[in-house]
């Protein structure tokens, strides 16, 4: 049975990490999904919401409900943007919109969550012969409770050696505007994360959020460390026939 | 930007890259984490305990008026006095007047954050009284003329070498050891004299037990017992939110507080006090007062969205879990209550104009909520404080206009695509001109600490369209 899936591509993935979107699509197609990309989508509103600009975030949320309202499964390669829809829309919206958000929130899935919990897939035929660790991003871990799904998928990749780092679920320090408004604190947190990554000896640090990876990558390169960052979707899309 | 915000930025920039500080705090946190895990294991079900504690605090805060009156009635019955202080000035005036009336020259204090909040010690010192902190950590930071670094472990940032040096300078020039046992003995000898000289003892309260009309105090050094029983006058200074409804609730709250606070199954000395010395009793004060401090708390009580902040039992677990706190330390906040609880509490108690920056000084990682023993949704309150800041107009017109334009752009895919392409082009130009990371880089706050962001020529949606033209979807 082919699951019909609407892609929710976060704005910064669309703009800065297009390959993550393509890899997400490739993996979903490989497991037999019919993938659509509603081209009317823009941003979920999280930047405004997190800055306290709830009145500016609200129209984005209302718009999101219109664009995705008719889909049975919405899949997003980001734990944070999934959190925005599932957990924060009900705080942001009232009345009828809130009801719609609660209903849609149950059909919006983070990518690894969708693969493991909805599609029932634990292995996608990928090959990635490298030593990889996993950064358990905050929203995914503590708002959505996604901790095992990405690890299951990684452990089942051919040739991949999985290692845990210390404090894998500690924040990398990104936090959206926090990274810019409090750059000195954010980068110190990033530095602690980078040291933990280095200490576990991984070649790659994987995550399900490009935003965290963008920050960790920036810190790793700035501090001349060897480890590289990669989105889970790109590992799962690698090496398949 | 307020003065407090500027100071916060300055101190954060100094502390965050301080690797010695980072190491001291990390080492302390590792031993704390191990102890907490062990203490949690003694609960049959830690999560169920948290949920029960949350319910009990909900009940207490939503019946605060009745419970406080119930508490007061019992204290009065036993011959104690209760003073309801609307703010810091009223509270301080009451205690200072009392001390003056009794001719107090020396005051001993056991640990109390609310007395820090209302600046009680400076008020007494202004009257020429000698005030001694008797909690070891508090005494150490008092000798350093420093505020507490942490609400539970005030001298957590100091090593025993630091403390040895401090004692040599301030207490006894002959001290030549950094053996913790011997340093504690120095403090003990000094503070014993203070206890027996003092005419007034001031304590805080960990809980106010409504049905029993008792004040519950926990310490690990026994200093609260001496503070509250040796001097002839005992004053309890406490926030009104410290109430729990029933004596039996302590069966949960004592181990809960000890577990989250220090990783102990129960604090060493747990004391219940309900009034002055009665006829025939061998110890206890002649006079007993409770000062119930509001100081902004009833404003929070009136706010249904943020009332939950008053559930806090001041265990300090959210500070320990917070990666921001661990990197910048307790003194950077410039507030009485640092860390996550401080950032939700302070703008509400001390004013949003001065402390508008605190709710934003967080990555919203949620580690604090995960450890809070009464399950306060701290990240949600940070978000709500951010909303209050935005609504207050403090961030200024530029930010407000920026978000209006942003929101307008996001309302149309065409505008979104246009602004997206424009930004990426700008980023590529900065790179091509070799400006990345330089002072002329508009992304400087990012690139000062990190490599520049990628700025691909094509967005996902452009690639999606092309791919659809080339290969029909399977």
Would residue B309 count as lying in a domain? no
Residue A238 pLDDT class (50, 70, 90 cuts):
very high
Give the domain-ending residue among B298, B329, B362.
B298
Whether residue B272 is found in the same domain as residue B201: yes
Predicted local distance difference test score (pLDDT) of residue A230: 98
Give the domain-ending residue among A83, A118, A153.
A118
Would residue B305 count as lying in a domain? no
Q: Which residues of B181-191 are buried (b: 16+ CB within 10 A; e: fewer)?
A: eebeebbeebb
pLDDT exceeds cutoff 70 at B470: no
Distance from CA of B421 to the nearest CA of A (A): 8
Q: Any chain A CB within 8 A of the CB of B458? A: yes
% of chain A residues with pLDDT over 90:
98
Distance from CA of A57 to the nearest CA of B (A): 7
Per CB-CB distance under 8 Å, the chain B contacts of A217 are 451
Whether residue B108 is found in the same domain as residue B242: yes
**Which residue segment(s) compose the domain that B383 sits in?**
1-41+316-395
pLDDT exceeds cutoff 90 at B439: no
- Tell me the average pLDDT across B329-354: 96
Contact of A203 with A131, CB cutoff 8 Å: yes
Give the domain-ending residue among A86, A118, A150.
A118
Distance from CA of B334 to the nearest CA of A (A): 16
Contact state of A48 with B474 under an 8 Å Cβ cutoff: no
Question: What is the residue-wise DSSP string for A189-235?
Answer: HHHHHHHHHHHTT-SEEEES-HHHHHHHHHHHHHTT---EEEEHHHH
Whether residue A64 is found in the same domain as residue A168: no
SS3 letters across chain B = CCHHHHHHHHHHHHHCCCHHHHHHHHHHHHHHHHHHHHHHCCCCCHHHHHHHHHHHHHHHHHCHHHHHHHHHHHHHHCCCEEEEECCHHHHHHHHHHHHHHCCCCEEEECCCHHHHHCCHHHHHHHCCCEEEECCHHHHHHHHCCCCCCCCCCCCCCCCHHHHHHHHHHHCCCCCCCCCHHHHHHHHHHHHHHHHHHCCEEEECCCEEECCCCEEEEEECCCHHHHHHHCCCEEEEEEEHHHEECCHHHHHHHHHHHHHHHHCCCCCCEEEEECCCCCCCCCCCCCEEEEEEECCCHHHHHCCCCCHHHHHCCCCCHHHHHCHHHHHHCHHHHCCCCCHHHHHHHHHHHCCCCCCCCHHHCCCCCCHHHHHCCCCCCHHHHHHHHHHHHHHHCCCCHHHHHHHHHHHHHHCCHHHHHHHHHHHHHHHHHHHHCCCCCCCCCCCHHHHCCCCCCCCCCCCHHHHHHHHHHHCCCC
* The total number of structural domains that make up chain A: 2
Per the document, the length of chain A is 241
Contact of B143 with B166, CB cutoff 8 Å: yes
Interface test mutation site (partner B, options A52, A195, A211, max chain B beta carbons within 10 A): A52
Beta bridge partners of A229: A205
Contact state of A43 with B386 under an 8 Å Cβ cutoff: no
Q: What is the mean pLDDT of chain A?
A: 97
pLDDT exceeds cutoff 80 at B350: yes
Whether residue B335 is found in the same domain as residue B267: no
Whether residue B214 is found in the same domain as residue B352: no
Whether residue B169 is found in the same domain as residue B93: yes
* The total number of structural domains that make up chain B: 3
Whether residue A108 is found in the same domain as residue A165: no
pLDDT exceeds cutoff 50 at B474: no
Interface test mutation site (partner A, options B29, B365, B421, B451, max chain A beta carbons within 10 A): B365
Determine the angle formed by the axes of helices A95-105 and A54-68, rounding to 10 degrees: 60
Q: What are the backbone dihedrals phi and psi of residue A192, each rounded to the nearest 5 degrees, phi first? A: -60, -45
Alpha carbon distance A119, B162 (integer Å) = 58
Q: Any chain A CB within 8 A of the CB of B11? A: no
Give the domain-ending residue among B395, B424, B449.
B395
Query: What is residue A177's DSSP assignment?
Result: T
Would residue A99 count as lying in a domain? yes
**Which residue segment(s) compose the domain that A152 sits in?**
131-236
Whether residue B391 is found in the same domain as residue B412: no
pTM metric for this prediction: 0.96
- CA–chain centroid gap for A37, Å, is 17
Alpha carbon distance A116, A133 (integer Å) = 19
Task: Name the residue with tokens 């609260």.
Answer: B224
Would residue B303 count as lying in a domain? no
Would residue A36 count as lying in a domain? yes
CATH of the domain at B207: 3.40.50.10420
Would residue B308 count as lying in a domain? no
Whether residue A34 is found in the same domain as residue A140: no
Would residue B459 count as lying in a domain? yes
Whether residue B101 is found in the same domain as residue B77: yes
- Tell me the average pLDDT across B434-443: 87
Whether residue B192 is found in the same domain as residue B259: yes
Contact state of A43 with B388 under an 8 Å Cβ cutoff: no
Per CB-CB distance under 8 Å, the chain B contacts of A51 are 360, 386, 390, 399, 403
Give the domain-ending residue among B341, B364, B395.
B395
Would residue A194 count as lying in a domain? yes
Would residue A199 count as lying in a domain? yes
Whether residue A172 is found in the same domain as residue A231: yes
Would residue B329 count as lying in a domain? yes
Would residue B359 count as lying in a domain? yes
Q: Tens digits of per-residue pLDDT, B413-431?
A: 999 999 999 999 999 999 9
Predicted local distance difference test score (pLDDT) of residue B437: 84
Whether residue A109 is found in the same domain as residue A135: no
Q: Tens digits of per-residue pLDDT, A92-111?
A: 999 999 999 999 999 999 99
Interface test mutation site (partner A, options B5, B323, B404, max chain A beta carbons within 10 A): B323
Q: Tens digits of per-residue pLDDT, A180-228?
A: 999 999 999 999 999 999 999 999 999 999 999 999 999 999 999 999 9
Whether residue A113 is found in the same domain as residue A144: no
């Amino acid at each position: 049975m082919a699951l019909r899936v609407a892609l929710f591509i976060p704005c910064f993935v669309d703009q800065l990490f297009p390959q993550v979107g393509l890899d997400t699509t490739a993996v979903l197609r490989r497991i037999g999904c019919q993938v659509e990309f509603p081209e009317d989508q823009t941003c979920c509103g999280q930047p405004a919401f997190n800055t306290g600009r709830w009145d500016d975030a609200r129209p984005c949320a209302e718009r999101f409900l219109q664009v995705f309202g008719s889909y049975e499964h919405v899949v997003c390669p980001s734990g944070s943007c999934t959190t925005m829809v599932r957990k924060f829309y009900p705080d942001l919206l009232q009345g009828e919109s809130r009801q719609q958000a609660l209903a849609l929130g149950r059909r919006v899935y983070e990518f690894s969550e969708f693969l493991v919990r909805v599609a029932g897939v634990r292995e996608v035929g990928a090959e990635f012969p490298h030593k990889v660790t996993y950064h358990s991003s905050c929203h995914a871990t503590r708002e959505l409770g996604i901790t095992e799904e990405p690890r299951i998928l990684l452990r089942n990749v051919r040739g991949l050696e999985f290692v845990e780092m210390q404090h894998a679920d500690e924040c990398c320090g990104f936090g959206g505007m926090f990274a810019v408004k409090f750059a000195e604190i954010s980068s110190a947190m990033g530095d602690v994360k980078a040291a933990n990554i280095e200490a576990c000896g991984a070649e790659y640090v994987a995550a399900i959020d490009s935003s965290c990876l963008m920050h960790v990558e920036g810190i790793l390169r700035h501090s001349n460390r060897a480890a590289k960052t990669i989105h889970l979707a790109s590992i799962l899309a690698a090496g398949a026939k | 930007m307020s003065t407090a915000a500027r100071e916060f930025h300055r101190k954060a920039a100094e502390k965050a890259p301080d690797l010695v500080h980072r190491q001291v705090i990390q080492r302390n946190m590792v031993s704390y984490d191990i102890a907490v895990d062990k203490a949690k294991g003694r609960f049959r079900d830690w999560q169920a305990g948290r949920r029960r504690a949350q319910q009990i605090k909900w009940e207490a805060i939503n019946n605060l008026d009745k419970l406080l009156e119930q508490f007061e009635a019992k204290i009065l019955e036993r011959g104690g006095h209760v003073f309801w202080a609307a703010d810091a000035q009223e509270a301080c005036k009451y205690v200072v007047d009392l001390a003056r009336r009794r001719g107090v020259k020396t005051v001993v204090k056991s640990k109390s954050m609310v007395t820090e909040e209302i600046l009680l010690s400076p008020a007494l010192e202004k009257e020429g009284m000698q005030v001694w902190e008797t909690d070891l950590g508090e005494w150490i930071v008092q000798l350093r003329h420093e505020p507490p670094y942490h609400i539970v472990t005030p001298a957590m940032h100091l090593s025993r070498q630091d403390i040895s040096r401090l004692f040599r300078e301030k207490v006894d020039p002959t001290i030549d050891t950094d053996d913790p046992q011997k340093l504690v003995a120095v403090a003990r000898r000094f503070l014993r004299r203070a206890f027996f000289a003092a005419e007034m003892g001031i304590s805080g309260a960990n809980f106010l037990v409504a049905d029993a009309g008792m004040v519950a105090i926990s310490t690990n050094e026994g200093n609260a017992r001496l503070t509250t029983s040796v001097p002839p006058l005992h004053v309890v200074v406490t926030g009104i939110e410290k109430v729990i409804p029933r004596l039996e609730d302590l069966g949960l709250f004592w181990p809960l507080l000890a577990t989250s606070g220090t990783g102990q199954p129960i604090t060493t000395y747990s004391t219940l006090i309900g009034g002055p010395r009665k006829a025939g009793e061998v110890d206890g004060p002649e006079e007993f007062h409770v000062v119930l401090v509001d100081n902004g708390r009833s404003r929070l009580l009136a706010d249904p969205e943020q009332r939950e902040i008053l559930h806090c039992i001041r265990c300090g677990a959210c500070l320990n879990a917070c990666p921001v706190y661990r990197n910048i330390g307790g003194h950077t906040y410039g507030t009485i209550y640092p860390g996550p609880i401080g950032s939700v509490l302070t703008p509400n108690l001390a004013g949003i104009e001065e402390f508008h920056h605190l709710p934003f000084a967080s990555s919203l990682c949620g580690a604090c909520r995960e450890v809070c023993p009464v399950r306060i949704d701290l990240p949600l309150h940070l978000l709500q404080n951010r909303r209050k800041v935005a609504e207050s107009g403090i961030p200024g017109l530029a930010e407000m206009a920026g978000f209006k334009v942003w929101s307008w752009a996001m309302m149309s895919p065409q505008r979104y695509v246009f602004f997206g392409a424009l930004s990426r082009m700008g980023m590529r130009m900065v790179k091509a001109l070799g400006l990345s990371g330089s002072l002329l880089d508009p992304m400087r706050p990012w690139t000062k600490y990190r490599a520049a962001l990628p700025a691909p020529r094509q967005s996902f949606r452009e690639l999606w369209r092309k791919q659809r033209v080339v290969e029909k979807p399977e």
